[in-house]
């Protein structure tokens, strides 16, 4: 894993941890904060698997009690990971698509309707499909 991707993973973990604290959502999945911290710090010394990296994001995206703010932050982080090349195998991409397809959240923001949040998820799934369709040789 290159240093740019490592830095992005660490940064996105820190951003998610901060969002959870600021929105008082850290109680949603009790072990998720520990997982986020573990990924954030071990990304520099170990080589965590893709499933370990996306695990905390997946748990929050799939949790029906997550707010739209947290769900959007997780989906945006996963999109950054996709663009930077974290997902290298079809298995990784499949896990990402399944994660995004199981998205659930509570709408808590008045500024953005639910269609915006789910259209972002659909856009990400379509982006993944297009990438894998036109660059299938890259994925094993």
DSSP 81-134: HHHTT---SHHHHHHHHHHHHT---B---SSS-HHHHHHHHHHHHHHHHHHHHH
Q: Can you give the pLDDT at residue 109?
A: 56
Q: What whole-number distance in Å separates Cα of residue 61 and Cα of residue 49?
A: 19
Q: Can you give the pLDDT at residue 115?
A: 46
* Residue numbers of the domain that contains 39: 3-138
pLDDT at 138 over 60: no
pLDDT in tens, 70-85: 888 888 898 889 888 8
Q: Can you give the pLDDT at residue 114?
A: 47
More confident site: 102 or 36: 36
- How confident is the model over 14-34, as a mean pLDDT? 82
Q: pTM of the entire structure? A: 0.77
Q: Can you give the pLDDT at residue 94?
A: 82
pLDDT at 108 over 90: no
117, 71 Cβ separation under 8 angstroms: yes
Domain count, the chain: 1
């Amino acid at each position: 894993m290159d240093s740019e991707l490592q830095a992005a993973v660490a940064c996105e973990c820190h951003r998610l941890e901060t969002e959870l604290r600021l929105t008082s959502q850290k109680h949603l999945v009790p072990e998720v904060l520990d997982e986020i911290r573990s990924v954030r710090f071990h990304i520099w010394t170990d080589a965590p698997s893709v499933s370990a990296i996306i695990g905390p994001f997946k748990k929050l995206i799939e949790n029906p009690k997550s707010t739209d703010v947290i769900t959007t932050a997780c989906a945006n982080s996963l999109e950054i990971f996709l663009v930077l090349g974290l997902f290298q195998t079809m298995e990784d991409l499949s896990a990402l698509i399944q994660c995004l397809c199981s998205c659930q959240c509570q709408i808590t923001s008045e500024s953005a309707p639910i269609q915006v949040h789910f259209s972002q998820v659909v856009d990400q799934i379509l982006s993944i499909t297009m990438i894998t369709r036109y660059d299938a040789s890259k994925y094993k």
